[in-house]
Structure 1
């Protein structure tokens, strides 16, 4: 349902809750790709943090946000938190594998 089609607060809240479930599902799916990156990086001897890739991801997110009329600075902030979490997860697992 589009936001402008919501006629009551309960209806609006239900739509937001449904969207939140979808967002969490997408974040969980993204985490699965991070887990796969750990395996691939281990096999290729790559570090968890690859600064050029971090900045490429951020630039992509900013561009997508702008294309959608969304606040690019906010999107960048959110993604930097997601990226930092992802790198920390990779470093934790990669460090454990090195032991």
Structure 2
């Protein structure tokens, strides 16, 4: 159901809950890749934090947000938090830089 098709607050809330579930599932999938990166990085001599990659990801997210009509500042803030969490997760396995 699209937002304009919602006729009641119950429908809106149900759709928000559905979308939130999808977001959580995608975050779980993403964290699996983070865990795999933590397994591979030591053998490659790579630290958990690679500043150039952080900025590349943020730039891609900002561009995608703008293209989709989402506030790029919001997207950047969310992703920087997500990236910091991801790096901390990797550092728990491979140690700090």
TMscore range, shorter length: over 0.9
Specify every segment of 5 or more residues in structure 1 that has no aligned partner in the other structure, as ranges: none
The equivalent of 1:68 in structure 2 is 68
CA distance in 1, matches of 2:43, 2:36: 11
- Structure with larger RCO (C-alpha < 8 A, sep 6+): 2
| Equivalences, count | 95
The equivalent of 1:3 in structure 2 is 3
Specify every segment of 5 or more residues in structure 2 that has no aligned partner in the other structure, as ranges: none
CA distance in 1, matches of 2:56, 2:28: 21
Superposition RMSD in Å: 0.6
Over residues 24-65 of structure 1, what are the superposed CA-to-partner deviations in whole Å (9 max), with x where a residue is unaligned?
A: 000010000000101110220100000000000000000000
Map 1:47-86 onto structure 2 (within 5 A).
47-86=47-86
Structure 1 runs of 4+ off > 2 angstroms? Answer: none
* 2:7 match: secondary structure: coil
CA distance in 1, matches of 2:65, 2:78: 12
The equivalent of 2:91 in structure 1 is 91
What's the TM-score, normalizing by structure 2?
0.96
CA distance in 2, matches of 1:24, 1:31: 10
What's the TM-score, normalizing by structure 1?
0.94
Task: Kindly indicate whether residue 3 of structure 2 is the aligned counterpart of residue 18 of structure 1.
Answer: no
